[in-house]
Structure 1
Amino acid sequence: MSRVIQVFEFEKLTLHMDWRGRSLEPRELDKLYEFNDKNNNVYFTGIRDGVKFKNYVGVIQIGGLTIEILPKTDKNVVEDSDFTAWHGALLNMLKICKHINVNSVSEANLKRKHNSLLDLYFEMYLDEVQSLLRAGLVKQYRRDSSNVLALKGRLDFNKNIQQNLIHQERFYTVHQVYDFENLVNQIILRGLSILGALTYNSQLKDRIARLKANFPEIKEIPIQKHHFEKVKENRKTVAYSRALQIAKMIILNYSPDIRSGQENMLTLLFDMNKLWEEYVYRMLLRTKNDNITVSFQNKQVFWEGRTIRPDLVLIRNKNKDNAETFIIDTKWKVLDATNPKPSDNDLKQMYAYNLYWDAKRSMLLYPNSKVINEGFGNYWKGREEKPHEIEHKIEYDRTNQCKVGFINVLDENDYLNLNIGTEIFEKII
């Protein structure tokens, strides 16, 4: 029997039922602990009788249990509608960042609440495999050693004497075979087999069975990371690229339960800091502005061999000889908007960005659930211009500023805010 538990990042999940009726079973918790140990406690923290999730979002499947970890931008009491809103927001963010194929996932699929993130990837994979089967799988030459009835290739004298002393009508040869038995097809088949063991969706199980029935008879081998490194893209395998990408995610994140075979595990987790950074970048690109260019992950040498890398660099060209630079660093964390106090390290980091990129303004961009109008703060030093005194008051030239900016990830209807690019431009430029 399958069940789904939805949690937000930094929430706890234990063996004891919480106020929302959520709890783990002992064997599920053991599997989470085992997974956490293998990954150096990156994805969550082990606590007494449970786990506390970190800033990774996505989905974990353990046997019949699916845990969906969703993002959230405030600490308010959670309502049922919050899970629905952030489930849809996460799927759309992944779609915009091209972690979900736009052509494979329709808007109708994204809005189906029961459709977990893993189910979407499974459907994408099955669509790709079905397309490959319709077009015809790739055949390749391979070397084979076996008994044949006609002499072809090179005769292996030692093996021929050992096996064909009586059956002299046979020849043990080393020869080439042109068939479907190649690495790319074996990877695709292995992905199908893992999906068949994982999914509890009856429709997906039926599709998997039909696809495997249409698959040519090839040997299934255990696939490891080094197998993917051996795959070379050429004109024959270019159609496999999307299927191989999803197969790699499925196979390398699959943890079979050797002992009982009932608690097989598959994880698909995304660092929300990186996803937020990429999402902001892609939304700024979507907001067309002929006078502004947006670049991603710039870097300059800072000290010895070390570099500094602001998330986003914006350049506004007022005219041919007059350009202004702005820096944005995205931060996926909850900050009190009424009294924002970023860390000293973040402010020092933005100070260095301003100097190295000759930017007069920069912004630390945080997610929030409200519309907020913020002002720029001034750094005291760092430019040649000095603050000057006017009627016994210090007046700054406003040449080295940083803002703590907040942006609402959701719109008024609790859908992903698609005007975020325009709003960010207005905040910094």
Structure 2
Amino acid sequence: MKPSEMITVFEDRTCYVNLTPEQTKELQSFERIWGSQNFIVRSDHRVLLKKYVGFVASKNLQIQILPKIFRDGESREIEAEKEHSIQLLFRLLTYSNYLKVKEIPTPKMVSKYQNDILEIFIAIFIKEFLNQFKVNVHRQYEPIEENTQFIKGKIIFQKSLLRNRDLNYLHYVIYEEFTEDTLLNQIFKTTIERLLRITKIAENKKRLKTGLLYLQHVQTIKLNQTIFDKIRFNRLNHQYLPLFNLSKLFYYNEQAGMSNGDEYTFTFLVPLNELFEYTVYKALKGLEEYSVLYHKPQKYLDKKNKAFMLKPDITIFKDGKVETIIDVKYKNPIHGIDVNVSQADIYQMLSYSLAYNCKNIILVYPMFRINNGYINPLGKYEIETENGIVKITIIHVNICRDNLDGILNDLMEYLKI
């Protein structure tokens, strides 16, 4: 694959991109990933991609979709926004534990790799590989079967009789050999070779070639799901688990309609709202004396007919009672100078209150940079019901901080605990 320039768009923002006819055709082939309601490619080269962030790198097209944090419209600070958005994406991936390698790119690193998240992923992968293999090349005992004059290990008599009927000097044997040509190393080598074909950064190429030198006695294989499923980790090889997870990330095209392991396509797409939800959940998970549940418990609003399933984002319990329900949405609640919460969102919160007998509901949004002058709460509603007053509080949290404690601090004042 000939590397092409990475095109950047922002999730849920109409962006102008100058695509060739081949790139347009390839981009349109990914509509099945997003769904037609989240995917618009217009004839005037304007593109709107919703729901997912990440990248797609195919034969003629490399496009990355970043979370927007500056404003809804076109930004005049596009390079600065790319840098901050990439840092935010990796921060969310790390906080949510989606990315097992705990490395958040610095501004210098983001700039060094040309604001390209695929190149940053490659850099993180090969750096982790070289760090591990400089200290300890992975080796283990592997079963070897061969037909030989020398007896070692155990003779497999049935195969020996079938293969060596008139060759009494040969024996079909099985034995174990301490080797670096392990299945795990074969996965790493195959991944490195594929990454070498797609990277555009000289330093990544250099490091990937060094990685191949480390694995020069290891064979490459055809990757598939069965190969990955065969790998088991124990105390002797657990240090390679983060590297293995990154290899899986590069292999799997997990979105519907994409063929696994397509050698011409790298896909990493994550639903942004779910990533933000889980980050907020992780920030709250350490609350002492409280039980914090994610997407649980699920209930039917109409229990008798089992209709209208409810699945709150985050539920906080104490002594078996629901104290607070938190709904998380990655969108800008401030339009112009006004905070606007949709009626549908308020009705959804009232449904939660009714089904879970909860009087404290919090709607959580990310703090867009243009909104950092707005203090919490952004809004408070008190709605009278037959069961009492339901309090709905609207807040935004600063997700550009360097740790999860900041998000927890933003929330603490409004939790009924």
What is the aligned partner in structure 2 of residue 83 from structure 1? 82
Distance 2:101 2:161 in 1: 56
Q: Secondary structure at the match of 1:147?
A: strand
How high is the TM-score relative to the length of structure 1? Answer: 0.76
What is the aligned partner in structure 1 of residue 25 from structure 2? 30
User: Any residues of structure 2 matched to 1:20-419 within 5 Å, and which?
Assistant: 22-37=17-32, 44-48=39-43, 51-62=47-58, 66-73=62-69, 74-80=71-77, 81-101=80-100, 103-105=102-104, 107=106, 112=111, 114-133=114-133, 134-144=135-145, 146-152=146-152, 153-155=155-157, 156-161=160-165, 165=166, 168=167, 170-178=169-177, 179-253=179-253, 264-284=264-284, 294-302=292-300, 303=303, 308-314=310-316, 325-336=323-334, 338=338, 340-344=340-344, 346-369=345-368, 370=371, 371-372=374-375, 373-383=377-387, 385=388, 398=389, 400-407=390-397, 409=399, 419=406
Q: Which amino acid aligns with 2:22?
A: R
Q: Secondary structure at the match of 2:392?
A: strand
Shift of 1:58: 1.7
Q: Which amino acid aligns with 1:405?
A: I
Q: Which amino acid aligns with 2:395?
A: G
Kindly provide the CA deviation profile for residues 16-51 of structure 1, in whole angstroms up to 9, marking residues without a partner as x.
xx4xxx412222233323344477669744544765
Distance 1:375 1:49 in 2: 39
Q: Secondary structure at the match of 1:423?
A: helix
Distance 1:213 1:141 in 2: 21
Kindly provide the CA deviation profile for residues 175-212 of structure 1, in whole angstroms up to 9, marking residues without a partner as x.
23423443222212211111111111111111111211
Distance 1:271 1:38 in 2: 11
Shift of 1:105: 4.7
Q: Which amino acid aligns with 2:353?
A: N
Distance 2:109 2:296 in 1: 33
Distance 2:328 2:122 in 1: 31
Q: Percent of pairs identical after alignment?
A: 21
Shift of 1:380: 3.8
Distance 1:102 1:137 in 2: 19
8 Å Cα contact 1:327/1:361 also seen in 2: yes
8 Å Cα contact 2:323/2:358 also seen in 1: yes
Distance 1:138 1:29 in 2: 46
Distance 2:172 2:38 in 1: 52
Q: Secondary structure at the match of 1:137?
A: coil
Higher mean displacement: 304-313 or 150-159? 304-313
Kindly provide the CA deviation profile for residues 271-305 of structure 1, in whole angstroms up to 9, marking residues without a partner as x.
1111111222234458xx76766443331443377
8 Å Cα contact 2:40/2:49 also seen in 1: yes
Unaligned runs of at least 5 residues, structure 1: 386-397
Shift of 1:128: 3.0
8 Å Cα contact 1:93/1:279 also seen in 2: yes
1:3 to 1:360, Cα distance in 2 relative to 1, 3 A? same
What is the aligned partner in structure 1 of residue 5 from structure 2? 3
Q: Secondary structure at the match of 1:112?
A: helix
Distance 2:44 2:253 in 1: 24
8 Å Cα contact 1:59/1:66 also seen in 2: yes
8 Å Cα contact 2:322/2:356 also seen in 1: no
Shift of 1:233: 2.5
Distance 1:382 1:140 in 2: 70
Distance 1:195 1:72 in 2: 28
1:407 to 1:104, Cα distance in 2 relative to 1, 3 A? closer
Kindly provide the CA deviation profile for residues 306-353 of structure 1, in whole angstroms up to 9, marking residues without a partner as x.
8633222235x7xxx998811110012334452524243x33432232
Unaligned runs of at least 5 residues, structure 2: none
Distance 1:38 1:6 in 2: 18
1:64 to 1:201, Cα distance in 2 relative to 1, 3 A? farther
1:368 to 1:154, Cα distance in 2 relative to 1, 3 A? closer
Q: Which amino acid aligns with 1:363?
A: I
Higher mean displacement: 402-411 or 352-361? 402-411
Kindly provide the CA deviation profile for residues 350-384 of structure 1, in whole angstroms up to 9, marking residues without a partner as x.
2232244432210222334321544432334241x
8 Å Cα contact 1:190/1:221 also seen in 2: yes
Distance 1:84 1:126 in 2: 21
Q: Secondary structure at the match of 1:379?
A: strand
Q: Secondary structure at the match of 1:405?
A: strand
1:426 to 1:104, Cα distance in 2 relative to 1, 3 A? closer
1:280 to 1:291, Cα distance in 2 relative to 1, 3 A? same
1:268 to 1:293, Cα distance in 2 relative to 1, 3 A? same
